[in-house]
Amino acid sequence: MNNPIKIPPKKRKLVIFGTEDFADIAYEYFTWDSDYEVVAFTLDRNYLNDTVKMGIPVLAFDELKNIFPPGEVDVFVAVVYGRMNRFRAETCCRAKELGYNLASYVSSRAFVWHNVRIGEHCFIFEDNTVQPFVKIEDDVILWSGNHIGHHSHIGNHCFLTSHVVVSGWVKIGDYCFIGVNSTIANNSEIGAETWVGHGACVTGNIPPHSLVKPIQSEVKQLNEAALFRSLARISKNRSSSFS
């Protein structure tokens, strides 16, 4: 690193459920930018392949309480949006039923206004802007670079990818997925269990259980000579309009 990060003092211990990409990322952020010490990974026994990851143990979930009892560690479920976020939600419930507290992470490089309300088991990456009076319910993932406008409400078990613009007074229902570079206009409501595709533009209310598909860009075979002739004509026309 060009500018080494000073690791915060560790006051709490954490077990991460999962061993795939999000688990790797969660380990990095909790380690370098929180007061949690990650002491183990865990996974359902049927999916357990390795016993060590990042130099710490990988444990079967059904034996976790025997090694790290509730009260000694918190749990974060590093699972993305499979089954419309239901698998992550169900795993959170299983951990809570065993008595574990669920961890959250808010990047030190995110802008979150002081009166924003954030539920349990949320993960807010860097470069998110969360404006005044926003309410974020439980088990919400905000990947990097989103804008969450004032007075908006994000429901439980949602996943917002990157560079999503949520304007003011927007309501997003439970179990929603919002794709990269999507835009949701003021006062819009996204019904529960809706998938908003990458690059979509929403300007009104969307009913529950909807699929919002953006128009895909046209793809053609590249003809470089024709392309640059066209660009040259456009440049010439622009120059002449200002002469």
Higher pLDDT among residues 44 and 233, named by residue: 44
Domains detected in the chain? 12-97 (3.40.50.20), 106-216 (2.160.10.10)
Q: What is the pLDDT of residue 240?
A: 60
Distance CA 161, CA 37 (A): 26
Helix, strand, or coil (residue 92): helix
* Residue among 148, 105, 106, 109 at smallest CA distance from 126: 109
Between 186 and 222, residue with greater pLDDT:
186
Q: What is the pLDDT of residues 198-230, one digit of tens each?
A: 999 999 999 999 999 998 888 989 899 988 888
Say what the pLDDT of residue 13 is. 98
Contacts of 191 (CB under 8 A, 6+ apart): 173, 205, 206, 207, 208, 209, 210
Task: Identify the pLDDT of residue 216.
Answer: 85
Helix (H, G, I), strand (E, B) or coil at 42: strand
User: Phi, psi (5° rounding) for residue 170?
Assistant: -90, 145
Q: Which residue in 148, 134, 204, 137 sits closest to 174, CA to CA?
A: 137
Q: Give the pLDDT of residue 1.
A: 46
The residue among 231 and 160 whose pLDDT is bigger is 160
Report, as an integer, the average pLDDT of 160-174: 98
At 157, the pLDDT band (50, 70, 90 cuts) reads very high
Closest CA relative to residue 91, chosen from 18, 35, 31: 18
Neighbours of 113 (CB within 10 A): 13
Residue 243: its pLDDT value, please?
53
Give me the mean pLDDT over the 140-157 stretch: 98
First-to-final CA distance of the chain: 49
Q: Above 90 in pLDDT, residue 242?
A: no
For the cut 60, the answer to whether the pLDDT of residue 3 exceeds it is: no
Q: Is the pLDDT of residue 238 over 60?
A: yes
